[in-house]
Structure 1
């Protein structure tokens, strides 16, 4: 099992909408590095859902339930999707400011490549986000 983070503008699709839908195909990824990562994802992998835009925070967890497969809504053979289901909402969102202030994340792509929408998460980073989500700011 691998760990990942997916970014999404909540005005386009939020974690609450994922919870209501029960599952979704994670599509719209076109960046070559993000697509490379998306192709490495397997059923059973865990994913953090990160809201971009004004919120800029990790808000919940997802589980990959299928994929990767060719994007059924695109003629571009390079584009792939994975199916995700909601797992749990974090007790408290973990903001980008918290992440940037924590040395555990200094080399993470979330900090270094801010436009990247799909990226791996180390176990240490995953666990640190869990710890931060339990803190009340």
Structure 2
């Protein structure tokens, strides 16, 4: 089973919000490579929920992919900050997935802690210049992160 890391600003969607909702749509991804990763996801895949652009960025918990990717409705929503004026019902280049809450970590595994772990040296999140909001995680990296919680 593939593993993933998905970033969200806590004001947009936090692990605690996902926990309350139980399940929601992960949308608004407007980078083609990240979108392609969404399209690779399969029902049941697990992902690390990463809080970004906040005072203490880091991995906050785990979620599960529900179903498969589908056209992102936020690209067509006039009220959405993710509106894409070039998208249409016939041609929507963006994708979304539904996600379900699995676990909130007792404490955030913050970026500084992750960077200091040699076993995570190849984690895409920690690579210089990598700003993708969705990225794959190798099985060994997944296990190494789980060992830190």
CA–CA distance in structure 2, aligned partners of residues 64 and 107 of structure 1: 24
CA–CA distance in structure 1, aligned partners of residues 138 and 3 of structure 2: 7
Structure 1, unaligned stretches of length 5 or more? none
Structure 2, unaligned stretches of length 5 or more? 77-86
Aligned CA RMSD, in angstroms, stands at: 1.2
CA–CA distance in structure 1, aligned partners of residues 106 and 141 of structure 2: 17
CA–CA distance in structure 2, aligned partners of residues 30 and 74 of structure 1: 9
Equivalent residues in 2 for 1:58-69, closer than 5 Å:
58-69=59-70
Among residues 133, 138, 149, which one is paired with 1:117 in the alignment? 133
1:60-89 C-alpha deviation (Å, 9 max, x unpaired): 100111220111232431100010000011
CA–CA distance in structure 1, aligned partners of residues 40 and 123 of structure 2: 18
| Superposition TM-score, scaled by structure 2 size | 0.84
Q: Does 1:79 align with 2:91?
A: no
| Larger radius of gyration between Structure 1 and Structure 2 | 2
CA–CA distance in structure 2, aligned partners of residues 106 and 92 of structure 1: 22
**Number of matched pairs:** 133
Deviation, 1:114, is 3.9
- 1:40 aligned residue: 40
Deviation, 1:105, is 1.8
Deviation, 1:91, is 3.2
- 2:3 aligned residue: 3
Which contiguous aligned blocks of 4+ residues in structure 1 show a shift greater than 6 angstroms? none
| Superposition TM-score, scaled by structure 1 size | 0.91
Provide the secondary structure at the position in 1 that maps to 2:142. helix
- 2:18 aligned residue: 18
CA–CA distance in structure 1, aligned partners of residues 29 and 95 of structure 2: 8
